[in-house]
Structure 1
Amino acid sequence: MAKVLHEDDFAQEIAEGKTLVEFYSDSCVPCKRMSPLLAQLEEDGVIPVYKVNIVHSRSLAVEHGVQSTPTLIVFENGRELARNHGFLNRAKLHQFLQEAGAAE
């Protein structure tokens, strides 16, 4: 299960290597549909997956320009590489990660 990040640990967790962060809200139905797909990515060791609840960590959402959920951002060493807004099925999620250089 993906670790939920907050303002106090966000920068540290995404500082090294490639990571995938999902900005979500508890009331977001597409976010709930993405959860098992993201869990599988992490379980398979494709990429470390983290989550940020935009309600509880509003300042992180604002800082990263998140205006809708789900928003997926691939970071490399703390720098944004790629971004997607909205639900992605398994194939589109893998394509997004491949294009970001985050998956084989």
Structure 2
Amino acid sequence: MSDASDSDDIESIREQKKEELKSNLTGASTADEPVHVEDGDHFADLTGDGVVLVDFYADWCGPCKMLEPTVESVAAETDATVAKVDVDQHQSLAQQFNVQGVPTLILFADGEAVEQIVGVQDQGTLVDLVEQYS
């Protein structure tokens, strides 16, 4: 094999990886793990269409830590996008959706908030909720 074809292969792989990373960052493809919201625009992009479960949490919150493996499982096992919003970093988003306690889970379907649940939930409850709107 020549050096030119090796460098072409490497460049092709680089381009493929760039596209995968871009789609994961924009939420264009369904991720198998939760996506951490960076800002209000990122939140709007993620929740704009499809079924999206948003976990409003705080690092200092014990129940939020208990819920984390469940939320990760929902992301892996359903077609829904799962987004995580740190209420300390994104207070305006928490206020916009009237989040008064954490964890608060809000389910979006086609850009609309359709369900809101406060507190730790089991995986079955969350999967059932997501599947109602999928």
Q: Does 1:80 align with 2:113?
A: yes
Q: Does 1:54 align with 2:95?
A: no
Root-mean-square deviation over aligned CA pairs: 1.5
Aligned to 1:102: 133
User: Structure 1 length normalisation: TM-score?
Assistant: 0.87
Percent identity over the alignment is: 30
Mapping 1:18-37, distance limit 5 Å: 18-37=51-70
Aligned length: 101
1:8 is paired with a residue of what secondary structure?
helix
Greater share of residues in helix: 2
Determine which structure has greater relative contact order: mean sequence separation of CA pairs < 8 Å that are 6+ residues apart, divided by chain length: 1
Once the two structures are TM-superposed, the CA of residue 44 in structure 1 deviates from its matched residue by 1.5
Deviations 1:65-95, CA, capped at 9 Å, x for gaps: 0000000000012111101000112233334
User: Structure 2 length normalisation: TM-score?
Assistant: 0.69
Once the two structures are TM-superposed, the CA of residue 96 in structure 1 deviates from its matched residue by 3.8
- What runs of 5+ residues in structure 1 fail to find an aligned partner? none
Greater C-alpha Rg = 2
Once the two structures are TM-superposed, the CA of residue 43 in structure 1 deviates from its matched residue by 1.1
Deviations 1:28-82, CA, capped at 9 Å, x for gaps: 1111111111111111234210000000000000001000000000001211110
Greater share of residues in strand: 1
Aligned to 1:3: 35
- What runs of 5+ residues in structure 2 fail to find an aligned partner? 1-32
